[in-house]
Amino acid sequence: MADRTELYKRYSILSIPIYYLRRVYEFWQSEAAQLSTAAVGTIVILLTAYKFGLFVWSFIRPSTLQRYCHAETGSWALVTGANDGIGRAFADELLSRGFNVLLHGRNPEKLERVKKELAAKYPRRTLDIAVADASRTDQPEQAVVDKVKKLPGKLVILVNNVGGVNTTPKYQSHAETTPANIDTILYINARFPVHLTAALLPTLRENKPALIINCGSATGSFGLPYLATYSGTKAFTEGFSKSLDAELACEGLEKDIEVKCITINNTRSAGNQGEMPLFTIDALELARGSLAKVGSGNVVEYGHWRHALQAFVMGSLPESWLRAAMVPEMRKRKAEEEEEAKRQ
């Protein structure tokens, strides 16, 4: 008897949750609960289908890029960092759409070669070059602005593509990165495009409608080890683009100057030879997809559905899982770079 009383005292506390669980179960079996669950499920399915529909439409909708090809004296696009890779791909695609292109880079020999190759491919278009080292602090953007003023036409598109990690080593802990290398990354990826945009906004406003495309990176959202400064500049690019677009709206210019920030994931280029199955695209695919996004009404977008899918997958993972996959991969890249440096 004593043992039974002791057991009752010990487990009597369970009677309360058992009681409420029973009430919940009884409610769940009711017709009202079944109807409510069906209604909620239907709403969730419809919302999911709606979002999926918007996602698909964003990649098949017609672009409004051609509204910017309007100058009788010739519509010009400035592409920074156009020596190769993504910048050259943007230039190629814009030329194919009827725009003349001003190629920017820091190496005049490379620029002249690219100019010659593209001119042969598009003989009816006009190309020019602007040489400026984006890593310098002595107002390198002014050389580009001066070149724009001499164009035989109107500048209507600015593609702020120049960027990346041009320092050696590429993969390095933030504590070990020299102040000079930190400044170089900041100047190329943040300072130069911001100053260039500010200097050219009056020209773009005068030549309206005009378009500004800023090239961002998924590293700004996820952050990569050994690329802390670079990742930070790409988060800055997204914030800068959103703020600039809102500012133009405040001034009543939202229909005159369109601002877009293209978030870039794994893309084959001279500085990136890594492959990710399904998610890796080439530079021309990225440029073509990015220009197709013009006129969508959104500021920040992915230029290709593969990159959007990659971001969705990565964003769906718990942060701890994402880091567990990211850390060993970046350690591997850093070790490979160090081994390559030793062999040289």
Q: Which residues are catalytic?
A: 230
> Phi, psi at residue 130, to the nearest 5°?
-135, 120
> Phi, psi at residue 131, to the nearest 5°?
-100, 125
In residues, how long is the chain?
Answer: 344
Is the CB of residue 264 less than 8 Å from the CB of residue 307?
yes
Nearest residue to 140 (alpha-carbon basis) of 123, 162, 122: 162
Is the CB of residue 215 less than 8 Å from the CB of residue 193?
no
The residues pairing with 127 across neighbouring beta strands, listed in sequence order, are 101
CA distance 114 to 130: 12
Write out the E strands in 99-178.
100-105, 127-131, 154-160
Can you tell me whether residue 288 is helix, strand or coil?
helix
CA distance 137 to 129: 21
